[in-house]
Amino acid sequence: MDRLENARETVLKASRAYYAHLAYYEDLLAERRAAETKRELDFLEFAFRAHATHRVRDVIDVACGNGRHVLGLAHRGYQCTGQDYTPEQVQIAKARAKREGISVKLLQGDATRLNYENEFDAVLALYILFLLPDDDSVLTCMRQIHRALKPGGIVICNIANPFHKGNDWFSLKTIHQGHYFHETRVPGVRYISIDRVQDFDPLHGIAWWQETHVIQAEDGVHIFRDHERLRLFTYWDILHYLQVAGFKETKCYPDWKTKPPKKPKAETLIFVSRKD
Ligand SMILES: C[S@@+](CC[C@H](N)C(=O)[O-])C[C@H]1O[C@@H](n2cnc3c(N)ncnc32)[C@H](O)[C@@H]1O
């Protein structure tokens, strides 16, 4: 294995361990994201209607996590496949699908090793690009997404925009201040996360974080510490990747709103591109 491949494996292993740890807690806290997820699902359906040349039916999510998007879309009548690199996340998604009595194909898989051709009307890559270890991996993922789509089908991907003006964990303001504190409550659960930016490489757009999560639930207090390595992409990076992967036209939307932004200053930027 060459050095580059080795480095990728290391990032992937760390990310897997992190999301395996988080899976149980995320499921516990799923309710805190219900409104957010509904808003995102509404946007996805808007994008299907506005950008695909035909009616969207078959959808794949290449890093589905606990399955909140694929499960939501299945409830709305779509034929869904979800895959995730972390087996614990796939397990949680399967348990949720069973609980909710819906049918979704759920698999373990790497977003940079997709093996599909002309199969899907829409591909989702949500809150995942920042975890891919390097530019080559992002390009590989985009190219494989392009191949997986039927002509006239669309990809929907997003990034957390480091240039946004707020105080969220990924803003340049937080990175320079060096820490971020966040608390969420849902009935029966209190969740506190304290993030510290350990290092930041602006040239390659990489930030290393140390995190402490405290969860107070009915079964006691759980504390775990972890670290994450995240890529910080700009609007222009994503336009470039999509173009090189073969997508000719891309529309960018701010914060799950259906009007394109005048300037790319929103907290989350969502990109929609169609395969010709
Ligand atoms: C921030 S979560 C987002 C999950 C989901 N898309 C959502 O919006 O709720 C990132 C997910 O990406 C998964 N992941 C990380 N690296 C991956 C890879 N190379 N291929 C597929 N999934 C990956 C993690 O296991 C985790 O579930």
**Contact assessment for residue 92 and residue 99, using Cβ atoms and an 8 Å cutoff:** no
What is the residue with the minimal CA distance to atom 1 of ligand 1? 127
Q: Is 229 in contact with 19 (CB distance < 8 Å)?
A: no
CA–CA distance, 61 with 237 (Å, rounded to integer): 21
- Give residue 241 CA to ligand 1 midpoint distance, Å: 19
Q: How far is the CA of 127 from the centre of ligand 1 (A)?
A: 7
Encode pLDDT of 134-158 as tens digits. 999 999 999 999 999 999 999 999 9
pLDDT at 162: 83
pLDDT higher than 70, residue 235? yes
Contact between 175 and 184 (Cβ < 8 Å): no
Which atom of ligand 1 lies closest to the CA of 124? 6
| pLDDT, averaged across the chain | 89
CA-nearest residue for atom 25, ligand 1, is 86
- Taking the CA of residue 137 as reference, the ligand 1 atom at the shortest distance is 19
d(CA 166, CA 177): 13
**Quick one: CA dihedral 275, 161, 200, 88, positive or negative?**
negative
Cα–Cα–Cα angle for 127, 130, 134, nearest 5°? 145
**What residues contact 185, with CB distance under 8 A and at least 6 apart?**
32, 191
What pLDDT is recorded for position 205?
Answer: 86
Token pair 């993030």 is at which residue? 195
* Nearest CA residue ID for atom 17, ligand 1: 85
**How far does the centroid of ligand 1 lie from the alpha carbon of residue 197, in Å?**
21
pLDDT band, residue 42 (cuts 50/70/90): very high
User: Six-digit token pair at 89?
Assistant: 């996340």
Atom in ligand 1 nearest the alpha carbon of residue 126 = 6
Given CA atoms 98, 100, 103, 108 in this order, what sign does their dihedral have?
negative
Q: Which atom of ligand 1 is nearest to the CA of 20?
A: 25
Average pLDDT over residues 92-120: 96
Are residues 274 and 52 in contact, defined by beta-carbon separation less than 8 angstroms? Answer: yes
Nearest to 158 by CA among 183, 134, 131: 131
Sorted by sequence, the CB contacts under 8 Å of residue 170 that are 6+ apart come out as: 130, 160, 161, 162, 207, 230, 232
Q: To the nearest whole percent, how much of the chain has pLDDT over 70?
A: 97
CA distance 247 to 130: 20
- What secondary structure letter does DSSP report for 128? -
Which of 100-114, 178-192, 232-246 has the least mean pLDDT? 178-192
Candidate from 22, 26, 85, 159 with most ligand 1 atoms within 8 A of CB, to mutate: 85
List, chain by chain if needed, residues with CB within 6 Å of any ligand 1 atom. Answer: 12, 15, 19, 63-65, 68, 84-86, 89, 110-112, 126-128, 131
What confidence tens digit (pLDDT) does each residue in 167-203 have? 777 777 777 777 888 898 877 888 888 888 888 888 8
Instruction: Give the three-state DSSP class for 76.
Output: coil
Mutate to test the pocket of ligand 1, among 8, 11, 13, 15 (most ligand atoms within 8 A of CB): 15
Instruction: Count the Cβ atoms, other than its own, within 10 Å of residue 245.
Output: 20
Which residues, other chains included, contact 128 with Cβ-Cβ below 8 Å and sequence gap of 6+?
62, 63, 111, 157
Contact 120, 58 (CB under 8 A): yes
